[in-house]
């Protein structure tokens, strides 16, 4: 359908790697408590705005009996997910005109999607395709904590590069990114206003601190590599041949961070994200 999100808003690997961490099994219990779904049922689950599919992978692990369908209007994300994730159906399509019959799914779920879609269309399409008694789960990122390691501060090369390229703040506005953002009180109220019942809220706290002993070395290094990819994709998205020095500087600082981690020289840099989960029933 289009590549707007992957080309202009968020790079594919940035989204995929950050979400893979967010939906790591390490955090499953927090989600499971609020999702409150029956693991033994052959649930039909639809994910709206799935992006490159990190939540799809997690759902497939967490609910092995479920039949999972995923939809997004970004063609790059869907083709990446189709190639990488087995036993899940990926479709290009619009959340405001879902290509499914009424009463088709037991569960609809979305992560960081509601804020980009006009609420009446967002909720009413999910209500339409849910079976009576079906569950709608809406996950939404809230304000978190970010503390950078000294070795990961923005380098002179990066500063010079970003000063040399034209900055366009209207890309997000042009594509309606975050246009329908709702507060922690407005989000469940909006779900109720749009016909869902038994609405509840909960929060998952995702603490990504590589130096915390509770994480394996593999997970810690995955956190650092996800940050590296985020910075590299931002530079590469400018399609500028002047980015080479900045790219080298980014690689050098993350190599340094990995080295410090392996040497046990703790930096305690951290990214804590809070995911709000709103759960409602079709009634």
Ligand X SMILES: C[S@@+](CC[C@H](N)C(=O)[O-])C[C@H]1O[C@@H](n2cnc3c(N)ncnc32)[C@H](O)[C@@H]1O
| CA–CA gap between residue 261 and residue 268 (Å, rounded) | 10
Distance of alpha carbon 94 from alpha carbon 124, whole angstroms: 13
C-alpha–C-alpha distance, residues 138 and 82, integer Å: 23
Q: Is 268 left (phi over 0), alpha (psi -120 to 50) or beta?
A: left
**How far apart are the C-alpha atoms of 92 and 76, rounded to whole Å?**
10
Our CB check for ligand X shows the closer of 149 and 277 to be 277
Options 11, 12, 13, 19; binder of ligand X; rule CB under 6 A: 19
**Is residue 221 left, alpha or beta, with left meaning phi > 0 and alpha meaning psi from -120 to 50?**
alpha
Residues 225, 119 contacting (CB under 8 angstroms): no
Confirm if 193 and 124 have CB atoms less than 8 A apart: no
Q: Is 11 near ligand X (CB under 6 A)? A: no
Nearer to ligand X, 84 or 154 (CB): 84
Which 114-133 positions form the footprint of ligand X (CB under 6 A)?
Answer: 116-117
Of 37-45, 67-75, 210-218, 221-229, the segment contacting ligand X by CB under 6 A is 67-75
Per-residue mark of binding to ligand X, 85-114 (x: CB under 6 A): ---------xxx--------------xxx-
How many residues bind ligand X, per CB under 6 A?
20
Tell me how far, at minimum, the Cβ of 239 lies from ligand X, in Å. 20
Specify the DSSP element, H or E, that contains 76: helix 75-84
Distance of closest approach, residue 119 Cβ to ligand X, in angstroms: 12
Look up residue 182 and give its two tokens: 């709702």
Nearer Cβ to ligand X (49/249): 49
Judged by CB under 6 A, the chain residues 32 through 61 that form the site for ligand X are: 49-51, 54-55
Nearer to ligand X, 165 or 171 (CB): 171
Q: How far is the CB of 146 from ligand X (least distance, A)?
A: 17
Binders of ligand X in range 161-200 (CB under 6 A): none
Q: Is 14 helix (H, G, I), strand (E, B) or coil?
A: helix
Q: Does 74 bind ligand X (CB under 6 A)?
A: yes
Q: Which residues bind ligand X (CB under 6 A)?
A: 5, 15, 19, 49-51, 54-55, 72-74, 77, 94-96, 111-113, 116-117
């Amino acid at each position: 359908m289009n590549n707007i999100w992957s080309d202009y808003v968020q790079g594919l690997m940035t989204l995929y790697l950050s979400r893979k961490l967010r939906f790591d099994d390490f955090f499953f219990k927090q989600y499971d408590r609020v999702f409150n779904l029956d693991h033994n049922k052959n649930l039909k689950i639809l994910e709206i705005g799935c992006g490159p599919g990190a939540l799809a992978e997690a759902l497939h692990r967490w609910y092995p009996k479920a039949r999972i369908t995923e939809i997004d209007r970004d063609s790059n994300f869907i083709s990446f997910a189709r190639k990488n994730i087995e036993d899940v159906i990926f479709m290009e399509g619009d959340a405001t005109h879902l290509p499914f019959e009424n009463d088709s799914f037991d569960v609809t779920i979305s992560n960081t999607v509601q804020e980009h879609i006009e609420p009446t269309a967002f909720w009413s399409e999910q209500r339409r395709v849910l079976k009576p008694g079906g569950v709608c789960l809406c996950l939404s990122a809230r304000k978190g904590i970010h503390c950078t390691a000294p070795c990961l501060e923005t380098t002179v090369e990066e500063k010079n590069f970003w000063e040399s390229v034209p900055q366009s703040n209207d890309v997000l506005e042009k594509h309606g990114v975050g246009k329908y953002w709702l507060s922690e009180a407005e989000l469940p109220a909006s779900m109720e206003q749009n016909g869902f019942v038994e609405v509840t809220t909960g929060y998952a706290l995702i603490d990504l601190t590589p130096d915390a002993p509770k994480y394996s070395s593999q997970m810690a290094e995955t956190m650092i590599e996800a940050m590296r990819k985020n910075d590299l994709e931002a530079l590469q998205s400018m399609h500028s041949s002047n980015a080479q020095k900045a790219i080298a500087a980014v690689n050098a600082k993350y190599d340094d961070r990995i080295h410090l981690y392996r040497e046990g020289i703790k930096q305690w840099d951290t990214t804590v994200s809070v995911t709000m989960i709103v759960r409602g029933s079709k009634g």
